[in-house]
Amino acid sequence: MDENKCKVYLLSGFLGSGKTTLLKHLLETHPENERVAVLMNEFGKAGVDGDVVRKNGLEIIEISRGSIFCACAKGDFLRGLYTILKDYRPTVLLVEASGVADTTDMKKDLGHGMLHDYYRFAGNICVIDAEHFEDWLDLFNAVIKQTEAATQLIINKTDLVTQEEADALEKHLHELNPTAQITRASFGNVPWSLFRSDEADEKMAEIPEAEAWEKFIDDVLANATPHMAPPDNLASLSVFWEGDPEKFKEILDKLPEDVVRSKGYFVDTDGKWKVFDIVGSKNPVYTDASPEFSQPRNLAIFIRKVRARREIPGLFQDAGLKLLELRF
């Protein structure tokens, strides 16, 4: 083959830091000479972000059954890389990691065996929530692991903090990761020039048959020692529901205090799709979905510290909303 290896950029960052907002911006501004594919990995058993960013001509593979860095989803990740390689032939692959993932292994993974023949690790871009980082750092192990593993740090949501707070955060980040380049941004608005690798392009090998790739996967899973679980003990609940959207909004205003992240989409009272987003104990943010957005069911995802399976479904039932499916 006369194609260069596909450059892989990992987009990391803790829950709610703005990875998907950054991804949407990059997909809207990427150079015309780059063929971009996306692999999205969400912590829960259902995915929201892929539905939100999907558009015609964009190739997205979603893995929502666990972290791609853990044993539970490593095989799915490797199969996804083969599908991307064989069917889409991108020049750039953007991998959005789960917000609770330990991302220290990506460079090692892509340098192993067959992967090294087709993919080239080009950078780990970690999105930092300027408003919540210092609080999250003391509570969740994933925050420090993601920060230390990054090659670039993007301080996002700088519009929500003062200049002095941003300066202090940048100083702290430099102490945690002295080698990473640090960029400030709002709404994930960064130029594609940040995603520029100084390494020379390398030619890709011939793409193998599926049987050979499956054997490679079997060998990796048999011999590797991936993380068996995310570094933080968090619980995810995905709720598919129907009913009065105003009652649903009332639920979002009285969620349990241990919920650290909520997101999803629903049909509002005007008959249009809305996307909602909550970080920590902040108020919900509602935005209009794109005109072409359509899904068969409303979906709400909640990530929390406590495994209380009946509490949030009980809120839906008390509000008179119909539960169509629960995924824990």
Looking at the structure, do residues 198 and 87 belong to the same domain, yes or no? yes
In CATH, what number is assigned to the domain containing residue 205? 3.40.50.300
Q: What's the CA gap between 283 and 286, in Å, rounded? A: 10
In CATH, what number is assigned to the domain containing residue 261? 3.30.1220.10
Q: How confident is the model at residue 69 (pLDDT cuts 50, 70, 90)?
A: confident
If one counts every other C-beta atom within 10 angstroms of the C-beta of residue 125, the result is 25
Q: 200, 223, 246 — which closes off a domain?
A: 223
In this model, does residue 285 exceed pLDDT 60? yes
Q: Is residue 1 part of a domain?
A: no
Q: How confident is the model at residue 104 (pLDDT cuts 50, 70, 90)?
A: confident
Q: In what order do the strands lie in the sheet with 235-242?
A: 285-288, 273-279, 259-267, 298-304, 235-242, 322-327
In this model, does residue 185 exceed pLDDT 70? yes
Give the model confidence (pLDDT) of 110-130 as tens digits: 887 789 999 999 999 999 999
* Pairing status of strand 36-41 against strand 92-96: parallel
Cβ contacts of residue 161 below 8 Å, gap of 6+? 130, 131, 169
Q: How confident is the model at residue 134 (pLDDT cuts 50, 70, 90)?
A: very high
In this model, does residue 221 exceed pLDDT 90? no
The two structure tokens encoding residue 91 = 């020049």
**Model pTM score:** 0.85
Residue type, 289: A
Question: Which residues sit opposite 94 in a β-bridge?
Answer: 9, 38
Give the model confidence (pLDDT) of 44-55 as tens digits: 655 565 565 665
Q: In what order do the strands lie in the sheet with 152-156?
A: 59-63, 36-41, 92-96, 6-12, 119-129, 152-156, 181-184
80-89 average pLDDT score: 91
**Are residues 94 and 11 in contact, defined by beta-carbon separation less than 8 angstroms?**
yes
Looking at the structure, do residues 211 and 292 belong to the same domain, yes or no? no
Q: Is residue 229 part of a domain?
A: no
Give the model confidence (pLDDT) of 237-284 as tens digits: 999 999 999 999 999 999 999 999 999 999 999 999 999 999 988 899
Looking at the structure, do residues 197 and 242 belong to the same domain, yes or no? no
Q: 223, 258, 275 — which closes off a domain?
A: 223
Q: Is residue 168 part of a domain?
A: yes
Q: Is residue 228 part of a domain?
A: no
Looking at the structure, do residues 45 and 155 belong to the same domain, yes or no? yes
Looking at the structure, do residues 177 and 263 belong to the same domain, yes or no? no
Q: Residue 268's Cα: distance from chain center in Å?
A: 25
Number of domains in the chain: 2
Range of the domain at 260: 235-327
Looking at the structure, do residues 199 and 282 belong to the same domain, yes or no? no
Phi and psi angles of residue 269, each rounded to the nearest 5 degrees, phi first: -65, -20
Looking at the structure, do residues 219 and 248 belong to the same domain, yes or no? no
Q: Is residue 101 part of a domain?
A: yes
pLDDT of 222 reads: 84
187 φψ region: left (φ > 0), alpha (ψ -120 to 50), beta (else): left
Looking at the structure, do residues 121 and 242 belong to the same domain, yes or no? no
Q: What percent of the chain has pLDDT over 90?
A: 63
Q: 169, 197, 223 — which closes off a domain?
A: 223
